[in-house]
Structure 1
Amino acid sequence: MESVQVQVRELPAGEVGRRHFELTTVELPDPGPGQVLVRNTWTSVDPGLRLRLRADAPQGYFPAFPPGSAMDGVFAVGVVEESQADGFPVGSTVWHSYGWRSHAVVDSGEVAMNGIASLRRLDVDAVPAHAYLGPLGAMGLTAYAGLHVIDALDDTGTIWVSAGAGAVGNLVCQIAKLSGLRVVASAGSDEKVAWLLDEVGVDAAFNWRSRPLSESLQQAAPEGLGLCFDSVGGTHLEAALHALNDNGRIALCGSISEYEGAAAGPRNLFLATSKNLTLRGFRGSAHVPLLDEMQQRLGCWLAEGRLVHRESIYEGLESAPTALADMLAGRTTGKTLVRL
């Protein structure tokens, strides 16, 4: 059985482009005991992939992608075509960690990506399969876990969500709103701001490129912030530290601003001390025990039509590098996916 894979040709020094990848066809072994052959139908495109396209992938994070090899540790959903694993019959829909390729042989006993991406059978009667790469998968768990670790799910007050139109950010906005918080969101274009206000339903939103962040936050939250969910870092985190009230709490999800360049700030970190702030770094994959709770809660909201689910879909495996470059440049909205 042959599989077409996207492999890393060279690690990018700056912006990611198609030239850094190549399509390669490899021969797969037949599945052995406990294994399945999966034909992938959708594969995920996530900001964190950029961190793994560096020789110095952050300590404690998933390992860097070695040039000339397949990109393991990327979410995908697909259909089982051959099976020697109990509980995974031919024709069943599953998720696993071997995305950015057409086919994969997956071991049902492998603990993948801290357990979040281990082979799992999916219920696709009520929701489409690719929803498990968005609100019902790692994106949903990251959003839910981030609010959980700063005790925001049962809180009141105002939260600022940076990168609010992104795959995780828009879910954070919606979970926070449905949980009773006042939600302020920021995004990088007027179109995304309009989507956040008109469809996602946040209370206030602004284009962070239009004017200084401090001014936008002052207008959107004159009373200050109690909470923040930050995926950008740099000047965004700096602005959050300034706008947070005493005893405020920040969930540190990522630092997109430095994924393709040098870190910039924050220069006012002492405010965390003077205001008694809590800065809580977390990874969604460290909170796998919350997965069932998250899927039940968000699954109900999806079924009831209370959760907006927007996607930027690219066609064909060969488009995956372009999808990644577009997402990192802010040209996508919601969850970025490749349909195979």
Structure 2
Amino acid sequence: MSRKKVILLILILFTVVGAIFGYTTLRSKKIAEIKERVESYLERNGLKDTVDVGEYDVNLLKREAYLRDIKIKGLKQEDREIAVEIPFVKEVAIKRFEEDKEVGPVKLLLEINGIDFRIYLKVLKKWKTYSLNAVINNSYNKEKGEVSENFSLTGDRLFNISWEWKAKNVDREILRLARELDAEGASLSNPEVRLFISKILQVKPSLVRFSFYDQGFHNLLIEVIAKKTGLTAEEVKREIINDLKKAHSQLQDRALRTFTEALLEIVSQGKGGIEITITNDKNYSIQDLGSLFIGMALRGAPPERVLKGMEKFLKIEVRKI
């Protein structure tokens, strides 16, 4: 091998080693930064002794961060009928995070995988365990004053749920005040709280969408009802179907009829779902809508009439999925 080739080979080798070393050093630095920020957040919110992150990782090329093997102590809610706990999360992937110094986070995309969801139904006297996955995708455009929030939760043998919310006229002061009040604590005597409320009332919701697809959740409810009533699961199922058919025959509103049809499909066929979309085409603010609905409620309008009244101001679509 010629001397020039040897020198070239050595240069290439040093370049590769330097690149690997530089990547490893930068990766370690980013992991340390993320760990510090997460631990600071946990301590600030009193969660340091509750949440233990087993591993931190980053992908510098994708600009993503990962928290893995998260153990959660004491996250348990319980009442007379039910107990729920989430002791473990396999992974939280931070796919996108952008922060504004003035208002805080303006873009966030999280994927939460392997949520160990355990539920104890006291009437059944046993724990049931499900694995859930969640996605959170939020953004705020401070120039346009627009907010978009998306949340989805999927669980094998349980359900798929998604929620979407969009709003306009969201002043950046709302986010700034929310950040400050969260740190300081809220009191109605605080002038900033009154300012915050006045700003919130001027927000104009443009879209709300909720969807639910059953993957076995109704079977769990039927099992609980059967245990409580002493009936068999099939007897409970027949009663529910008969009640839904009766309610469906008495309803005049198209949206409510579609809703009961979707429930009938879920119970009778073992699968099905529903999607509800509400759009604010006339650009009403929260204050406007609140006044309209409070007025109807004070007049003692029944639910179907309230829904009819809502359809005068909002576009409501209900469809089976």
Bigger proportion of residues as strand: 2
**Which TM bucket (shorter chain)?**
under 0.3
TM-score normalized with structure 2 length:
0.26
TM-score normalized with structure 1 length:
0.25
Structure with higher Rg: it is 2
Work out which structure has the larger RCO, using CA pairs closer than 8 Å and 6 or more positions apart in sequence: 1
